[in-house]
Amino acid sequence: MRRVVVVGAGLAGLTCAKTLQAGGCEVVVLEKSRGVGGRLSTRRSDLTQYDHGAQYFTARDERFIAFINDRLADGSVAVWAPRLDVKLAQTITEPWYVGTPGMSSLGRAQAIGLDVRTEVRVQLMSRREGHWQLAMEDGSTLDGFDAVVVAVPNAQAMPLLAEHAPDWAKMLEQMPMEPCWTVMVSTQASLTEFDAGLPRTGAIGWWARNSSKPGRPESSGRHDWVVQATAAWTQANLDTDKAGVAQALLQAFALELGVESIEPTCPPMAHRWLYSRLKPGVAALAEPCFRTELGLGICGDGLAHSRVEQAYLSGLQLAQAILAQSN
Ligand SMILES: Cc1cc2nc3c(=O)[nH]c(=O)nc-3n(C[C@H](O)[C@H](O)[C@H](O)COP(=O)(O)OP(=O)(O)OC[C@H]3O[C@@H](n4cnc5c(N)ncnc54)[C@H](O)[C@@H]3O)c2cc1C
């Protein structure tokens, strides 16, 4: 397993790649987007920036705690202590971490020193003379890999696995992820004394004053908000256009905060995540999967519990399994 290709530059794929490289493998990471980090993402507007994917994360496993301590030291992560209403504040028993100056910093820090090729969408994986060959959407190919790691959301992994690991593809079919509409907006008005809320009823599942997170751009009195819909509302409005979604969620947000209306300082933006997190109630796997005879592995939060920490651990564990087979 000397030459490994990792599909997907989210935290799971990057962590797997970094660990393999440290273990002596030659690693290439292929990512379909323009940047790294996957759902640990930051959207920029002319005015400001918003974390429109993962909102914050916790660290419970000592391996992830050690990683986060390094990131706290290099400044790519900080603790966020939002002002919360009494009910929500009572449920918080551990620090909430965020990437700084945006959530995408965590992925960028993990990508340092790796050969990551962006804007490359892997379409097909095939075996040629005992090695893997990958075919991209743009018609290019890469070959000669001893192992391939698929580190993408479950539904996106299924077509890649269908030919060589149909049982895994079938297993992932039983592990669906929920969609999530997210709206980003800025206001001059402060709207509320709190920085985050988790209504989980009606249209809104979560809202946050993004500008209350540490290290965000100087807001000079402006308030930047991220409002995320519940999975049920998103599912019911999956094909609604972005403007319609923004209007509906901002109305619901005003209702939630008990204000008459939300007056944006610039046009709100909406983003539809087709795969945000594992559906509640779906049984997760204890570990990522690796098949030695094929040199094929899968990892990512979609196998675990759809938390940033689980994505990290999943990538780490898969790399360790591959290295153990190689030695
Ligand atoms: C709206 C939302 C809110 C969330 N809130 C939280 C939260 O508050 N706390 C928390 O802990 N977690 C949260 N999460 C979950 C968290 O973001 C994920 O657990 C974690 O980021 C997943 O990392 P990953 O590497 O497994 O997958 P991803 O980050 O999805 O990375 C997979 C990468 O693979 C790429 N890719 C896909 N297909 C291909 C292909 N064919 N070729 C090449 N590249 C491909 C994708 O572009 C992506 O960059 C949230 C997620 C969303 C969407």
Q: Give tens-digit pLDDT for 96-136.
A: 999 999 999 999 999 999 999 999 999 999 999 999 999 99
Ligand 1 and 233: CB distance under 6 A: no
Task: Please tell me if the CB atom of residue 216 comes closer than 6 angstroms to any atom of ligand 1.
Answer: no
Whether 205 and 238 share a structural domain: yes
- CA quadruple 122, 126, 127, 129: dihedral, nearest 10: -90
Both 49 and 10 in one domain: the answer is: yes
Distance from the alpha carbon of residue 222 to the mean position of ligand 1, in angstroms: 29
Q: Which residues contact 219 (CB under 8 A, 6 or more apart)?
A: 48, 211
61 to 65, 76, 258, 295, 311: CA distances (angstroms): 6, 19, 39, 28, 12
pLDDT the model gives residue 86: 84
Q: Residue 86 C-alpha to ligand 1 middle, in angstroms?
A: 30
Return the pLDDT at 286: 79
Segment 184-210 shows an average pLDDT of 93
Domain that holds residue 49: 3-175+281-326
Ligand 1 touching residue 301 (CB < 6 A) = yes
Same domain, 114 and 151: yes
Residue 296 has what pLDDT? 96
* pLDDT value for 56: 97
Domain of 97: which CATH number? Answer: 3.50.50.60
In angstroms, the CA 104 to CA 52 distance is 10
Is 229 a pocket residue for ligand 1 (Cβ < 6 Å)? Answer: no
| Alpha carbon nearest to ligand 1 atom 20, residue | 308
Residues 36 and 152 in one domain: yes
Q: Residues 286, 249: one domain?
A: no
Convert the pLDDT of each residue in 6-61 to its tens digit: 999 999 999 999 999 999 999 999 999 999 999 999 999 988 999 999 999 999 99
If one counts the domains in the chain, the total is: 2
Encode 258-278 in three state secondary structure.
Answer: CCCCCCECCCCEEEEEEEEEE
Specify the DSSP element, H or E, that contains 134: strand 131-136
Instruction: Please tell me the distance between residue 99's alpha carbon and the centre of ligand 1 in angstroms.
Output: 14
* 184, 37: one domain: no
One domain, residues 59 and 156: yes
